[in-house]
A and B are shown apart, each in its own frame.
Chain A
Amino acid sequence: MKCKAFLVRSWAYLSMALVAAVILFLFGYVFVQGGPVITWEFFTASPSGSVLGSEGGIWPAIAGSLCFTATAVVLGGIPAIATALYLVFFCQSKLLRTVIQMVIQNIAGIPSIVLGLFAYSLLVRALGLGRCVLSAGVALAIMILPFIEVRAEKAFRELPPALTQSAYALGCSKSYTIWKIVLPACRGELVSGVILGACYAMGATAPLMFTGGVAYAAMPVSLTKPAMALPLHLYLLLAQGTSIPQAYGTAFVLMMVVLLSNFLAALYAKRRNRAWKQS
């Protein structure tokens, strides 16, 4: 009998140790290998060298990633927050609420490569937009929509109902209350959710591959043209064996983005908590 307890305990400690080691290794490895490559030039220059990408910098990829992400956040974040508002404040029918929530869960389950296929078929082909930031942005937007919606819904539900009720009792309309009370009160959680969603979009490769991401594109980036992206750049550097140091540098930048986003998101979420704990 005591044996099992001991085994479970050891198993728990070992697992945690393994996980901790893996986390430290992942970040450590990228930072140690990629650190030396990071220079100001790396950030601001374009890829160059005899084989394009073996030297120079990754600035176009950074700019491209920012554009893809911004498009995704606008196209995906707004419907996500709107859907959350609908479910919490406007939806009367329980059936409809269940259906919409199931739809969102299913959207979350769509593999990112399939989203790329969809965007290719609809935007690149049917609508004739061709490979561009907008086409890829739509695929990314659908990818991050459930992510943001779930967080937004949680934030809205956790709002004390007394707050909205007080506003209604004063004669204010639901729209006004949402705009002036609900959204500002949930701002921390919403921003945090959007930041994490953006981070998720920035790291995605599959949806971009044939909808808007390319190996080399000129600056500046525009919605109707294709662009470079950090994760795609990393993949191509490896797949084509162009340059390992450049790859490490790109990976470093991506990891930094992940760490920074998570940090910022946690910070914003905490800010909102403070306001509530006072009451």
Chain B
Amino acid sequence: METILTLKDVTITYDKKPALEQVSLSFPKNRITAVIGPSGCGKTTLLRAMNRMLEEEPGAAVEGQILLNGDDVRKLPSEELRRRVGLVFQTPAPFPFSIYKNMTFALRYYGVQNQERLAALVREKLTLAGLYEEVKDRLDKSALKLSGGQQQRLCIARALTAEPEVLLLDEPCSALDIRSIEAIEAMLLKLKETYTIILVTHNIAQARRIADYTAFFNNGRLVEFGEKGALFLQPRHEETKAFLSGVYG
């Protein structure tokens, strides 16, 4: 199993209060890894540390090492890191522009000027996200007019325009209806061929459905990491068992 993102003894504190303690974990390349656990166990903090968005928050301190393909993320310029590690948020946040402009926003930043190339890339990423057919006739209309599920798929497509190696998703389906969830899950399964997906979800069934690997966190610690169904069928730790059977979380 080839790994792409590795955490070594990562401890994160907010104003001296620990949010994540001594986390050591390696995320496999081109696979979907689900991160599950009760609310407040540190899942979102984990994601934000991986693309260094945590630095923006006052009082946050990160210890330990995070390596992206062997590179220490703290030594990389934060913009390059965020290009290689994309993040999609819980509530869809399309820019108040047209769909087309949403998609070309990052591309233009990275210097792509050629109109044909832009159009081709937009089409490619929208197709990957399974959204192209639905919006191809209204690319110049406001992205805010799309439905919740469409907006979220647009945000994922938009994240792909930066050509990341890893895609982090923070509970992307929590505000969506079943149709949209199905569409997004189908999309993620296809995306893993090209990208590495790390998916934070509170929906255990979802993790069961699409994850190749699952990491269970509780109280800021990594409790268990298992392959495919192993974690769900034969959890090794008491805490995992309790969580899965709904005792808490």
Contact = CB atoms under 8 A, between A and B. Distances in A.
B95 A170 contact: no
Contacts of A163: 93, 95-96
Contacts of B118: none
24 contacts: A162-B91, A162-B93, A163-B93, A163-B96, A166-B89, A166-B158, A168-B53, A168-B82, A169-B51, A169-B53, A169-B86, A169-B87, A169-B88, A169-B159, A170-B158, A170-B159, A171-B82, A171-B110, A171-B162, A176-B109, A180-B105, A181-B95, A185-B96, A279-B96
Contacts of B155: 166
Interface residues of A, number: 21
A209 B36 CA distance: 70
A92 to B, nearest CB: 7
Contacts, number: 66
B106 interface: yes
Nearest to B96: A275
A160 B105 CA distance: 18
Nearest to A92: B58
Contact of A166 (B51, B56, B93, B145): B93
Contacts of A169: 51, 53, 82, 86-89, 159
Nearest to B81: A171
Interface in B85-125: 86-89, 91, 93-96, 105-106, 109-110
A110 to B, nearest CB: 33
A167 interface: yes
B83 interface: yes
Contacts of A275: 96, 144
Q: Which 10 A-B pairs have the closest CB atoms?
A: A171-B83, A162-B93, A171-B82, A169-B87, A170-B106, A278-B144, A166-B93, A279-B144, A171-B79, A172-B109
A168 B95 CA distance: 12
Question: Secondary structure of the A side of the interface?
Answer: helix
Contacts of A171: 79-83, 106, 109-110, 162
A269 to B, nearest CB: 16
Contacts of A92: 58
A172 B96 contact: no
B127 interface: no
A166 B95 contact: yes
Which of B82, B88, B93, B158 has the most A CB atoms < 10 Å from its CB? B93
A92 B82 CA distance: 21
